[in-house]
């Protein structure tokens, strides 16, 4: 009887290897490293406040609506190759172009003028870049911008809610019918693209009832 021989690939621990055989680092999984959220505090009535903390390297930005967001700047938790660096550069550029502000920078800074065309926000008369701050909430200038964005976002939300609650029954019915029609057309395109195209052409020509 042949003697049992375990596979030469059987190991006691996983060791990531690159294409050239070099052994890389392994990401240690623990309750702290694997969980996507952390309890970072308590609110006014004692309820826990959860915050998502990316496992990969991240930077904090101020969202156009005023909230602080931790944004991953790498595609994985390990590695520091040019691929990872390029991803972070592209992500940063896209966010800044869309109105996001790095939380450690002063909003009156011109450091990203090649993207924004000037400072992150219109600089008030007599004010200038204070250099920013790495403390929670950023510098005093950024805190003013955050407060203004949050107030604007709240005002828009309240206006949307008012408009929603004041809608007439027939308006809601028309909206639901439009959504149902759109969903139906999407399903039809998947099931029978030619028929869906013909029906859409008839509708655009004002002949939907005749088709």
Domain boundaries, the chain: 34-165, 169-204
Q: How confident is the model at residue 128 (pLDDT cuts 50, 70, 90)?
A: very high
Torsion sign, CA atoms 147, 151, 71, 40: positive
Q: Left, alpha or beta for 196 (phi > 0: left; psi -120 to 50: alpha)?
A: alpha
Please report, for residues 17, 137, 189, the alpha-carbon distance to residue 81 in angstroms, rounded to integers and kept in the order given.
Answer: 15, 31, 43
116 Cβ neighbours under 8 A, 6+ residues apart = 96, 97
- Position 184 scores a pLDDT of 76
- Kindly tell me if the per-residue pLDDT of 77 is higher than 50: yes
Q: How confident is the model at residue 211 (pLDDT cuts 50, 70, 90)?
A: very low
What is the spatial distance between Cα 147 and Cα 132, in angstroms, rounded to a whole number? 16
**Residue 60 has which token pair?**
């904090």
Which of 25-29, 151-155, 157-161 reaches the highest mean pLDDT?
Answer: 151-155
Angle at 43 between CA 140 and CA 138, to 5 degrees: 15
What is the spatial distance between Cα 79 and Cα 73, in angstroms, rounded to a whole number? 12
pTM over 0.75: no
Q: How confident is the model at residue 6 (pLDDT cuts 50, 70, 90)?
A: low
- Position 34 scores a pLDDT of 77
What mean pLDDT comes out for the span 17-30? Answer: 68
Within 10 angstroms of residue 138's Cβ, the number of other Cβ atoms is: 24
Q: How confident is the model at residue 149 (pLDDT cuts 50, 70, 90)?
A: very high
For residue 17, what are the β-bridge partners? 23
Query: Tokens 């156009």 correspond to what residue?
Result: 64
């Amino acid at each position: 009887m042949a003697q049992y021989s375990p596979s030469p690939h059987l190991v006691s621990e996983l060791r990531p290897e690159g294409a050239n055989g070099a052994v890389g680092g392994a990401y240690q999984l623990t309750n702290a490293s694997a969980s996507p959220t952390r309890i970072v505090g308590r609110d006014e009535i004692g309820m826990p406040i959860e915050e998502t903390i990316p496992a990969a390297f991240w930077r904090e930005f101020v969202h156009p609506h005023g909230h602080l967001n931790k944004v991953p700047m790498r595609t994985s938790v390990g590695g520091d190759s040019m691929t990872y660096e390029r991803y972070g550069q592209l992500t940063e550029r896209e966010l800044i172009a869309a109105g996001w502000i790095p939380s450690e920078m002063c909003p009156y800074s011109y450091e990203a003028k090649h993207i924004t065309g000037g400072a992150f926000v219109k600089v008030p008369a007599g004010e200038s870049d204070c250099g920013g701050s790495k403390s929670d909430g950023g510098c005093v200038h950024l805190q003013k911008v955050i407060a203004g964005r949050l107030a604007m976002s709240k005002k828009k939300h309240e206006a949307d809610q008012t408009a929603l609650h004041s809608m007439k029954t027939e308006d809601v019915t028309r909206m639901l019918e439009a959504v149902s029609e759109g969903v139906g057309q999407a399903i039809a395109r998947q099931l029978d693209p030619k028929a869906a195209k013909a029906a859409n052409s008839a509708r655009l020509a004002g002949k939907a009832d005749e088709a």
